[in-house]
Each structure stands twice: as C-alpha cells, then as structure tokens.
Amino acid sequence: MKEYRTITQIAGPLVFVEKTEPVGYGELVNIVLYDGSIKRGQVLDTSNELVVVQVFETTAGIGKDSGIRFTGETIKMPVGRDMLGRILSGGGKPIDGGPEIVPEKRLDITGAAINPYARGSPNDFIQTGISTIDGTNTLVRGQKLPIFSGAGLPHNQIALQIARQAKVPGSKEAFAVVFAAMGITKEEANYFMEDFERTGALERAVVFLNLADDPAVERIITPRLALTTAEYLAFDLGMHVLVILTDMTNYCEALRQIGAAREEVPGRRGYPGYMYTDLAGIYERAGIVKGKKGSITQFPILTMPGDDITHPIPDLTGYITEGQIVVSRELHRKGIYPPINVLPSLSRLMNLGIGKGHTREDHKKVSDQLYAAYAEGNDLRGLVAIVGKDALSERDRMFLEFADLFENRFVRQGYNEDRTIEETLDLGWTLLSTLPVEQLVRIDRDLISKYHPKFRQAAKAEG
C-alpha cells in the first residue's frame, strides 16, 4: 500500500494531504506516526490536489513526517455472533481484555437507508413497566423514542429500568441490547456496566464506550458502529435489539467541532447545516424490515442544554424521532421518580401498538382522558398561585387534586417496580374515578360502564 508523506496542514481533527492518487470519498485512512503507531481517519473531501482527512482520534503526534495510507475502502466493521457480552471502545476495539472479534461479516458502517416500501409496520407493544411510558406514551418495537433530559436528572436510571424491564408480553423471542456511550464519564459508564452485570444483561449486550476523555471525534463513528452491530443482530440473526445511545448531545458537539475545523458556514448556534440529515442517518436506522424476524428499537438519550427543548439538538431530534420522553426537573425536585412529564412527552407510534389485540380496548381513551385531566389540573396550579385555592370552583378543585394524585400515584413508582399494562390502566381508572363521571368526556359510555371502578363494583355486587 502506497504511503504519502505530503501532509500540508493539520487543523483540529483535520489533516490536509497533497498530491495523491485518486482517493475515494469516505475512504478509511491509516495515519502512521513516527513511532509506528497507527491512527484512523476518513476522507471528507477529495480532489487530485488535496485530500481532507478527518482523524477519529487525537491528532497529537501527527506531523508532517507522518505517513498516510489510503485503504481503498470505506469504513467497515467486523461483526459476529460472539460480540454479545463484549465491551468495545468507541472505535470498535475490544477493551475488556478479551480476544479480537471473529468477524462473520464486514459491514459498511454508514448503513444504507431502509427502503420505505420494505419497512414493516411497527405494532408490537413493548411493556416497559413504567406507567408514564406504557400508559400514556406507549413504545412499540421498531420505534425510536429519545429521552430528553437535563444535566443532573436521572435519565440513566430510567434508561436502565427500561433496558431491564422491556418486554413484549407473552413473547419469548431472542433479544439483545446494544449500548453506545458517547462522551459520558467513567463513573456513569461504571453505573451502566454494574447494572448490566448485576442483572445479567451483559450477556445479551454489546457495549461501546467512548468516555469523556476519549477523543471527541471518535464519537462520530461510535453510534454508527453500534447501529451496524444492531442491524447485524436484528436483520441477520433475527434478534429484537434495543439500542441505547447516550449522550447524543456530546455527539452533536463533536459534529460542530468538525464543522468549525472545516470552516463551514455554521447553522443555528454554530451547529452544521447538515445536522438534521446527519442525525437522521443515525435515528432512521431503527425499524422493522418486512419478512425479517428482528427489529431495532432506539432509545437515544440527550441532555438539553439549559433544559431548553428548542435548542437545535432536541429540536432536530424531535423532528426525526417518533416522539420523546421528557424528564422534568420540577418533578425531580418534588422527589418523584421517574420524573417523566407526560405533557410534553409523546409517542407517535402509540396508536399502532395499543387497543384491542395489543393492550386493552380502553387504552387510548383512558390515556387521552388522563392527559386532558392532568393538563387542566396543572394549568390551574398557576391560577391557585394567584387567587388561592378557595377562589376555585368545585370542579376546578377536583382537577387540581387530580393533578397531585396523578403525579404521586401514576407517575411515581419504584426503580424496580415493574407494572403490567393492566395494572397501569386500572390505576388510571382508579384516579379517574375521583372525578365525576360526566367530566370523563373523552371516554364513551360503553367503556365507562365496563371499566370504571364504580360500575365494576356495581357489576360485582350484582353478580
């Protein structure tokens, strides 16, 4: 393989190489340092005169004397069955002291888009055991549902609880977890690893760790390696894969860093104009393919800078993903776990996975009614702050109390509490029964007479 020593400029993570043979766009590049060690990079811009290489590791040690080898192929990842249970670096190398991965296949890490026509419709209900998700923001297989959180909030616990408890009721199909950490601290990583080990989840997991002190640019490929692995497990081996990506904010920072180094015209808040397309290239790799057994469900986690949901990172994410789970600082301060605020949370695929044949016929309407009543009660809190509780009408007072009850009974649950969907819905009914029946305008009479605790008891008494 030809080696070039024509580096003319090194700026941030970018290396500029002159006068090469034709080099392919996106090609994998090895950079050989004076001590013989090798760093990896990728071609970002290519012409006969100049090639721009983005280095995935720190550029420390790279100089004009370094050799550049173009490998002639785009970045591929060796994947194999024995990856399960392994811990790899953010660049895909084993760091658990175990042997190298025995590749059964080498796959392009960019991944091709699933043809929309070949996609299967996601409609298998996933029970996470968390009421605010199962009841009001239901997750289905093949969905990508991010957790929007903030610094210092328990999003990691929530992600772990989901990873631990998630199941399709009544199904015993093979599943796996692919966990990709981008720029999280060693401490956070340990927290995840310990939980995986304690619960035995590690055996079914592939872990990619790019820690806070690992090169930021490596974060660009970490999620792609993780998703390539997930695609192999799902579509080649037929497993149902849950992918947890944390923290996407760090990924976007790395993207901005490269954009700045390339002196690109920045978009909003300095993030590159192609960030939407770039993020879509990650998030859209969730789904189901018709006629194939497996599925990829994504749980990206991101911390909203300044808890600002309109920040470009959550904003663009929300436009690609199928909803979001919003973790609230206010609920967290009230000591409620999991502090999921259902009002701004949403699952766009919920209606595909609930109702008769999936969960229960009353699911949609109970969920809507809970939402509406909680929203109304929550609005009234603002009013109470001004006029005091006594000035409220009786109806308003009931809704106000409902909001408190909703947070304390429905939202609040234990870290290890795994509620079935029936428990969640019945709990919803119990809460709704504190309101007069005629206030339940979103539920039709048939369902009320079938599920409302008052009528159920009456039916029992008669029976």
Partner 1 sequence: MTKGGVLKRIAGPVVTAVGIEAHMYDVVKVGKEELMGEVIKIQGENIIIQVYEDTSGIRPGEPVTNTGLSLAVELGPGLLTSIYDGIQRPLSVLVDKMGDFIQRGVSAPGLDHSKKWDFRPLVKEGDQVGPGSILGEVQETNIVHRILVPPNVKGGTVRSVKAGSFSVDDVICTLDDGTTLTMMQKWPVRVPRPVLEKMNPTIPLITGQRILDGLFPIAKGGTAAIPGPFGSGKTVTQQQLAKWSDAEIVVYIGCGERGNEMTEVLTEFPELEDPKTGKPLMERTVLIANTSNMPVAAREASVYTGITIAEYFRDMGYDVSLMADSTSRWAEAMREISSRLEEMPGEEGYPAYLAARLSEFYERAGRVKTLSGKMGSVSVIGAVSPPGGDFSEPVTQNTLRIVKVFWALDAKLSQRRHFPAINWLNSYSLYLGSLQDWYDREVSPEWNSLRSWAMEILQKEAELQEIVQLVGSDALPEAEQITIEVARMIREIFLQQNAYDAVDTFCDMKKQYAMMKAIRQYSDLAYAAQNAGVTPQQILSVKSKNELPQIKFIKDYVPALEKIQKDMDAEFNALRSAA
Question: How many residues belong to the site for partner 1 (CB under 8 A)?
Answer: 88
110, 67 Cβ separation under 8 angstroms:
no
What binding mask, one character per residue, do residues 383-402 give for partner 1 by CB under 8 A, x or -? x--xx---xxx--x------
- For the CB of residue 104, give the shortest distance to partner 1 in the complex, in Å: 18
Contacts with partner 1 in 5-64 (CB under 8 A)? 22-27, 44-48
Interacting residue with partner 1 among 13, 287, 339, 428 (CB under 8 A):
287
Q: Which amino acid is at 371?
A: Y
Residue 112 found at the interface with partner 1 (CB under 8 A): yes
CA distance 136 to 83: 35
Interacting residue with partner 1 among 445, 454, 457, 458 (CB under 8 A):
445
The phi, psi pair for 331, rounded to 5°, reads -65, -35
The phi, psi pair for 362, rounded to 5°, reads -85, 0
Residue 74 vs 157, nearer CB to partner 1? 74
Residue 330 found at the interface with partner 1 (CB under 8 A): no
**Tokens linked to 125:** 């209900």
Rounded to a whole number, what is the distance in angstroms from the first to the last CA of the chain?
Answer: 84
Q: Which amino acid is at 243?
A: V
Q: Identify which range of 2-10, 96-104, 137-145, 170-178 contacts partner 1 by CB under 8 A.
A: 137-145
Residue 47 vs 199, nearer CB to partner 1? 47
Contacts with partner 1 in 175-204 (CB under 8 A)? none
Which of these, 358, 422, 400, lies nearest to 131 by C-alpha position? 422
From edge to edge, which strands make up the β-sheet containing 205-211?
Answer: 87-89, 205-211, 175-184, 240-246, 295-303, 147-149, 323-327, 340-347
Residue 305 found at the interface with partner 1 (CB under 8 A): no
Residue 376 found at the interface with partner 1 (CB under 8 A): yes
Contacts with partner 1 in 72-91 (CB under 8 A)? 73-74
- For the CB of residue 110, give the shortest distance to partner 1 in the complex, in Å: 6
- For the CB of residue 7, give the shortest distance to partner 1 in the complex, in Å: 19
38, 32 Cβ separation under 8 angstroms:
yes
The phi, psi pair for 33, rounded to 5°, reads -85, 170
- For the CB of residue 48, give the shortest distance to partner 1 in the complex, in Å: 5
Residue 242 found at the interface with partner 1 (CB under 8 A): no
CA distance 37 to 309: 43
Per-position DSSP letters for 251-263, written without gaps between them: HHHHHHHHHHHTT
- For the CB of residue 8, give the shortest distance to partner 1 in the complex, in Å: 16
- 241 beta partners: 176, 296
Residue 237 found at the interface with partner 1 (CB under 8 A): no
Contacts with partner 1 in 412-441 (CB under 8 A)? 438, 441
Residue 204 vs 285, nearer CB to partner 1? 285
**Tokens linked to 49:** 């005169």
Residue 265 vs 461, nearer CB to partner 1? 265
- For the CB of residue 280, give the shortest distance to partner 1 in the complex, in Å: 3
Interacting residue with partner 1 among 76, 293, 409, 442 (CB under 8 A):
442
- 7 beta partners: 17
The phi, psi pair for 323, rounded to 5°, reads 110, -170
**Tokens linked to 266:** 């920045």
Interacting residue with partner 1 among 33, 346, 405, 435 (CB under 8 A):
346
